Amino acid sequence: MTKFEGPIRTIPHSSNVVFNFLSNFDHFESLLPPEKVTNWHSAGDTCRFTIEGIGDIGLKIIEKEPEKTIKYTADGKTPFNFFLWVQLKEIGENETKVKLTIKADLNPMLKMMVSSHVEKFLDVVTDAIVKYPYQI
């Protein structure tokens, strides 16, 4: 499996607020860049969308550890199997570190084709999670 790690960033909110938001795909569309992500459909623990340069992606939540980790995996037909982790660590009152990691089952050709897109995706989504105006 190929591992892609996003940047570690700080969110000015508690891990509880961020975890509750990220644990429901109905909130996710607002985190994704509309110029890169289209055909969004969600149903709480599952979602499907199209990423420019990668194709159709389906996600489902497979594991949650309150205020610490949310683990997602591919759902349905996808170009490759993968896992996405969101790790949260509260470091102070209304201050939480976040890191996104993707592990993907890629052959060498596919890895070469999608690596830059996956890395960019992790950066963009991490930035969106940090900048989102969470309701407390």
Residues 26-65: tens digit of each pLDDT: 888 888 878 888 999 999 899 998 888 777 888 999 999 9
Residue 114: per-residue pLDDT? 83
| Cβ neighbours of 59 (radius 10 Å) | 22
* Domain contains 43: yes
- Of 98, 116, 136, the closest CA to residue 53 belongs to 116
* Domain contains 136: no
pLDDT at 78 over 80: no
Residue 60: per-residue pLDDT? 95
Q: The CATH number of the domain where 93 resides is what?
A: 3.30.530.20
Provide Rg for the chain, Cα atoms: 14
Across residues 70-95, what is the average pLDDT?
Answer: 90
* Domain contains 106: yes
More confident position, 40 or 81? 40
| Cβ neighbours of 133 (radius 10 Å) | 7
Which residues 6+ apart lie within 8 Å of 66 measured at CB?
Answer: 16, 19
* Domain contains 124: yes
* Domain contains 74: yes
pLDDT at 110 over 90: no
Q: Can you say how many angstroms the Cα of residue 5 is from the centroid of all Cα atoms in its chain?
A: 11
* Domain contains 78: yes
* Domain contains 91: yes
Question: In which domain, by residue range, is 63 found?
Answer: 2-131
Q: How many domains does the chain have?
A: 1
Band of pLDDT at residue 68, cut at 50, 70 and 90: very high
Which range is least confidently modeled, 7-11, 49-53, 89-93?
49-53
Residue 83: per-residue pLDDT? 94
Across residues 109-128, what is the average pLDDT?
Answer: 89
* Domain contains 96: yes
Residue 136: per-residue pLDDT? 53
Verdict on whether the full-model pTM lies above 0.75: yes
